[in-house]
Amino acid sequence: MPTPRELVREGLQQLQESGTNSVALDSEAADILRSWEGTAPAAPVDDTRQNEQLQTTEQKIEYLRRRAGNWKAARSLGTLRDRMVFSVGNVHARLVFVGEAPGYDEERLQEPFVGPAGKKLNEILRAMGLSREQVYITNICKFRPSMGDRQGTSNRPPSPQEIAACLPIVQAELRAIHPVCVVCLGATAARGLLGKEGGVGSLRGQWWEHAGIPTRVTYHPSYLLRNQALSARRAVWEDMLAVMEILSLPISEKQRRYFLIDPH
């Protein structure tokens, strides 16, 4: 009975004899071949660019979903929980929202922004005249950060290492979708995508760029749950008005005045 190693060698030899002189390997297959050759597996690599050779955006995103579930760079940290929560929405969206990391509800339902912060995000979308189905919603970190014994329903923001580990996936999603603009929800997403250390107060209200894509930073929806002040809601809304303008979405006079202290 031939061993798997012998079978692969034989298969490769047959391919070579029939004129094939290269084969594409994903990182998992490459690691297995290296281990057979007695070479230690390489450190986790960003092989998401292989994805770019695939054809449709749907295929690219599906590939990334599978890769993310098995993303060694994140898993090897040992500080993130096991269940991967991928993105949701329209892969042809012109607008992408990038949040922080899944929380209790998101992990349970395996969908980003389905808890209280998600309801707030849905409200923002409705005010813009959009639905969840028209946009693409993702997180800078695809796994719920672990809090060990203290976890329960508590959540914590991802660490810089956890963000860096997941970043190649998010970058590849944005390359695949290539939206008209991106909104970073909160400072954690901005830190990952833009490499900016400031708080939202100093980053919002202007356009930045991630890989050539206009990118806006605004307060995380959970901030609006904690801070009901009209000024906080208006700040987010002004960022969304700028997004609507860049997307050439219709804006009524009434919409322009939302959350103004004196709307007249």
Footprint of ligand URA on this chain (CB under 6 A)?
99-103, 106, 112-113, 115, 117, 139
Short-list 137, 27, 158, CA closest to 81: 158
Of 31 and 189, nearer to ligand URA (C-beta) is 189
Residue 7, token pair as written in the block: 């079978």
Phi and psi at residue 122, in whole multiples of 5°? -60, -40
Of 210 and 220, nearer to ligand URA (C-beta) is 220
Residue 73, token pair as written in the block: 């760079």
Q: Closest approach of Cβ 111 to ligand URA, in Å?
A: 8
Instruction: Outline where DSSP puts E strands in 36-151.
Output: 80-84, 88-89, 95-99, 136-139, 143-145
Sheet holding 95-99, edge to edge: 88-89, 136-139, 95-99, 181-185, 213-218, 207-210
CB closest to ligand URA, residue no: 99
Of 102 and 192, nearer to ligand URA (C-beta) is 102
5: how many CB neighbours lie within 10 A of its CB? 13
Of 171 and 255, nearer to ligand URA (C-beta) is 171
Q: Closest approach of Cβ 139 to ligand URA, in Å?
A: 5
222: left (phi over 0), alpha (psi -120 to 50) or beta: alpha
Q: Closest approach of Cβ 102 to ligand URA, in Å?
A: 5
Q: Closest approach of Cβ 159 to ligand URA, in Å?
A: 15
d(CA 219, CA 200): 6
d(CA 156, CA 147): 7
The DSSP-derived string for 176-198 is HH--SEEEEESHHHHHHHH---S
Q: Closest approach of Cβ 189 to ligand URA, in Å?
A: 7
Q: Closest approach of Cβ 126 to ligand URA, in Å?
A: 18
d(CA 222, CA 83): 22
Of 106 and 239, nearer to ligand URA (C-beta) is 106
Q: Closest approach of Cβ 178 to ligand URA, in Å?
A: 22
Of 112 and 168, nearer to ligand URA (C-beta) is 112
Short-list 44, 154, 170, CA closest to 98: 170
What residue has token string 């923002």? 124
216 DSSP 8-state letter: E
Of 11 and 199, nearer to ligand URA (C-beta) is 199
